[in-house]
Amino acid sequence: MAFPRLSSAAPAAARPAPHHVAIVMDGNGRWAHKRLLPRIAGHRQGVESLRRCIRACAERGVKVLTVFAFSSENWNRPEEEVSGLMELMGKALANEVPELHRAGIRMYFVGDRVALSARMQQNLAQAEAATAGNSRMVLNVCFNYGGRWDIAQAAARVAATGQPINEESLGRATALAHVPDPDLLIRTGGEHRISNFLLWQCAYSELYFSEKLWPDFDAAALDEALADYAARERRFGKTSAQVAQATG
């Protein structure tokens, strides 16, 4: 199935979108279990949901989309599921990257690549290189990623240079330093936690939890999350009066 062609206009009723949306794509296994299917079937359907979400975000003016595809803790899952996820990633790269490139999406793969096979590392690097000139939207795929790993590797990088370790130097050394911090973090599947995802970057993100399992998350569900975000006041430590004065 080809990646859906992106239209040039957002839906007529769309409100201003957050610049950066991050998503914990949870519920693939439960979706499959409810249908008496193997867990990998849920992950395959999750790829379809991600395709829809990328398209919807781009059409609504989101400039950065960051998704949690495989956490550093997911290695603890059954070996069959882990190998199936690796195979699914390989197929997704082959099938989706050309379409994403044509849609103007720039890809980054964020995470620790040391534990990945040499072939997988090469495929990730090739996908990044192939889409490096695109500017419509940035897609960060967090693969073998953990928030604590990110902070630890950032601290190690700063220490290796001899610079003082502070918020500014750590921020520049994190794996997502190439994009602004997320405005909105969405988690599907009904769980109310962030599971070691973007611990540094989500310090001031708005959190939105959806009961929908990830394979069922569609454009309408995304619009609900965006509408909820649009109704919030983001103060960043200021008072409501200060925010009103600055935006008035």
Concerning whether 196 is annotated as a catalytic residue, the answer is: no
The one catalytic residue in 26, 150, 181, 183 is: 26
Q: Are 20 and 183 in contact (CB under 8 A)?
A: yes
DSSP readout, 44-75? HHHHHHHHHHHHHHHHTT--EEEEEEEEGGGG
Amino acid at 88: L
197/216 Cα distance (integer angstroms): 21
Q: Which residue is listed with tokens 């991600």?
A: 50
Concerning whether 26 is annotated as a catalytic residue, the answer is: yes
CA-wise closest residue to 173 among 192, 158, 184 = 158
DSSP helix/strand/coil, 144: strand
* The pair of three-digit structure tokens given for residue 127, joined into one six-digit string: 């996908």
DSSP readout, 150-208? HHHHHHHHHHHHT---SHHHHHHHSTTTTSPPPSEEEE-TT----TTSSTTTTTT-EEE
Q: Are 136 and 99 in contact (CB under 8 A)?
A: no
DSSP helix/strand/coil, 110: strand
The one catalytic residue in 74, 95, 134, 196 is: 74
Contacts of 145 (CB under 8 A, 6+ apart): 68, 70, 71, 72, 110, 111, 112, 175, 197
Residues with active-site annotation: 26, 74
